[in-house]
Chains A and B, each alone.
Chain A
């Protein structure tokens, strides 16, 4: 049974189950406003995070290289980052509404990972054997996690009737929108450093810091989208709902950069596509 469901990766299965538990507890907890359930969800997410830490560390040791090479591996690491950033946000701002979303997105990612797993360790090609590899990937995935949360908060600010976003300045009017902004700022800061690290690394590896590769271009487009958000919210009449929409749309760009590359006609020769 376990074999049938989780194949070669029962440990990843356990991480997925814990995330599923966090989702099942925290979602009704948030909707019905049951504190104990919400709390249980948060602790389950923390447990999932710890187990995932172990799974990733073990894989790092077994493979003898950082486990960030393939789509499967990043689908383990993304939930790790989402859980880390979410738990930090919950601790700092008491934003327990984030837990079901964090758990939900992780369940989706992990389910896909289990459905299409790596059955053997993919070897690290020479270009990825670099001290820049880990900081570059970690910075980007932390950014993607924070930007996910900012997208979720922006969406909540848009749909929840009680958060008054209006077109008034964010800071004083809507707590959710303010949190969305904070998460976005943290995320786009990380995005900026990720881009920077990528450029410097490419310079050392190939001699070019930028080569207009499709993945690079989408990373640039995503960064520009968040820069547009920063300016949009300074314009009259744009600081409320419209700025929140900008965050939601920008996160769509993040998703495309991470997962959508293989849909592009130009990505065939790309060096960066997760396969």
Chain B
């Protein structure tokens, strides 16, 4: 690493001047860009409500914004190029994206109707107007991601990133572009839907989900899917003897014994009291408590607020039933084409079925309706692209920091 330092300069000499770019200028410009975009979409939203009958007026007015921006960009193109391909600009862009990402976790991401309950009356409309209730799907967030992609491509061109020592940088940067591209392809060409089936039922179209408030549309699949069989596999139901420790107002569990399997004495309480299970059946268990020479027996019932204070009154023992949680739920699906079964697979969470570009994911079940299965249906032609982009970023980082130093060292030696 250290010896490579000197040679590093050769490959980054060109970058030298751009590194002196101004971080504050970049942050300021990008923030101004954000304000511009937000104002633009807010005005557009306003006009779309007031100018319902004359949409061309709306397009004329809101079209002025991007036209003005484009004109300005064209005029400053000579100074914009070195700026947009500079490290400070990249840093500023990443900082803004980070800020937006964090903002999207601080502000509630929910439909507008939930806002009244969470925010004061003066704040809710402001947040909604800025699109902060669905930040990651706003036009301005998309514009920033587009800007990220554009500047990354510019950087690759400017830095002649195809030369061997720069492969890692190229992979990192273009990898990000490719992830964004894959995401866009998925959003534009992909489809998402939901399928509700009962055992024996089949369907050849699914209910579209996502994509705004449009009336529920159905998407034809081009084949049919039949639910042959549905089953929920559950963990065993359990009875547990739970020991709680009480300190002032805090109550916390400190021990939990399987009432059916526990054997031997177990210390509870702070005064040396011990407990053992004698027998348990269904929602009842019989226990024995001993402290010094004193031994007492008790029967506990689950769910009856029936608990035993132990020893010094700082511990409490209760019997609790644990409902049998779902371990897995599985749908045996058959694909039918022209009435003929062409494929069969049992799907579960983490193991979908794929057919002609459609993927069927086990998504939900109903406790009270054991023949019903909810299946998420997705077509995402962008995922392969996203996967490739992600892999590029990972390999790129390895190249930059673990392979490139060797290459530079070898060149220095040669």
Residues of A within 8 A of B (CB): 3-4, 7-8, 116-117, 119-120, 123-127, 129-130, 132, 169, 171-172, 178, 185, 188-189, 192-193, 195-196, 199-201, 203-210, 212, 214, 217-218, 220-221, 224-225, 227-228, 231-232, 234-236, 264-267
Contact = CB atoms under 8 A, between A and B. Distances in A.
A169 B1 CA distance: 13
B106 A7 contact: no
B94 A199 contact: no
B102 interface: yes
B286 interface: no
Given A123-B325, A235-B91, A207 B361 contact: yes
B97 A224 contact: yes
Contact of B393 (A119, A127, A192, A236): A192
Nearest to B192: A207
B178 to A, nearest CB: 13
A185 B172 CA distance: 14
A217 B105 CA distance: 7
Given A205-B350, A231-B90, A235-B23, A218 B386 contact: no
Interface residues of B, number: 65
Contact of B109 (A8, A126, A266): A266
B105 A264 contact: yes
Contact of B361 (A4, A169, A171, A206): A206
Interface stretch (B49-57, B121-129, B298-306, B394-402): B394-402
Contact of B252 (A116, A192, A205): A116
B391 interface: yes
Given A129-B349, A196-B394, A236-B19, A207 B378 contact: yes
Interface in B357-408: 359, 361-363, 376, 378, 380, 383, 386-387, 390-391, 393-394, 397-398, 401
Contacts of A212: 104, 109, 136
B254 A7 contact: yes
Given A217-B101, A234-B15, 16 more contacts: A3-B267, A129-B327, A129-B349, A172-B2, A172-B5, A192-B394, A206-B361, A207-B192, A212-B104, A228-B94, A235-B20, A235-B88, A236-B20, A265-B106, A265-B118, A266-B104
A137 B398 CA distance: 20
B164 interface: no
Contacts of B401: 185, 189
Nearest to B382: A209
B394 A126 contact: no
Contacts of B235: 123
Contacts of B327: 123-124, 126, 129
A207 B397 contact: no
A132 to B, nearest CB: 8
B282 interface: no
Contact of B102 (A200, A217, A235, A265): A217
B283 interface: no
B101 A171 contact: no
Given A116-B252, A127-B349, A228-B95, A209 B19 contact: no
Contacts of B107: 266
A123 B256 CA distance: 14
Interface in B3-59: 5, 15, 19-21, 23
A234 B105 contact: no
A125 B326 contact: yes
A146 B11 CA distance: 29
Contacts of B94: 224, 227-228, 231
Contacts of A171: 1-2, 5
A123 B108 CA distance: 30
Contact of B242 (A119, A172, A217, A231): A119
B98 A221 contact: yes
A116 B252 CA distance: 8
Given A203-B383, A207-B359, A207-B380, A126 B350 contact: yes
Contacts of B95: 228
A38 to B, nearest CB: 26
A18 B387 CA distance: 43
B170 interface: no
B2 A119 contact: no
Contacts of B82: none
